[in-house]
Amino acid sequence: MQRRRGQLAKVWKTQTVTDNRGNVVKVAQADGPHIVRAAFIPQRSARAEVPGQQQINVVRMLVTADLTDVDLWSRVEWNGKQWDVVTPPSHHHGTRRTRHWSIDLRERP
């Protein structure tokens, strides 16, 4: 599906906070997710066939260019599952209608 009529996803953006030891760290915002429409393209997957193996499921999410503050520490909820951002978001330049972000996501075990 296209980005404008795509599927709904919840995105937790990243914020910088100071932990109890005084370190500056990045974490997903706790104030709530942002609802976006996105297109999802399967990238690669591997089924766990033997006990002890891990299933890997990676998809690419395409969203509009106005989404900000999303990086490797962000979280996404889509299709009833939690996903981690595995590569830095890639901005694709173009006209107003074609410009977008592509973000690779890995399903959390």
d(CA 78, CA 39) in angstroms, rounded, equals 11
Confidence bin at 20 (pLDDT 50/70/90) = very high
Top-confidence residue, 75 or 90: 75
Pairing of strands 100-107, 56-64: antiparallel
Its pTM stands at 0.75
Domains, in order of start, for the chain: 7-107 (2.40.10.270)
Top-confidence residue, 25 or 68: 25
pLDDT at 100 over 90: no
- Please write the tens of the pLDDT for every residue from 30-58: 777 889 899 998 887 666 555 655 667 88
- Average pLDDT score over the chain: 82
Q: Percent helix, strand and coil across the chain, each rounded to 5?
A: 0, 55, 45
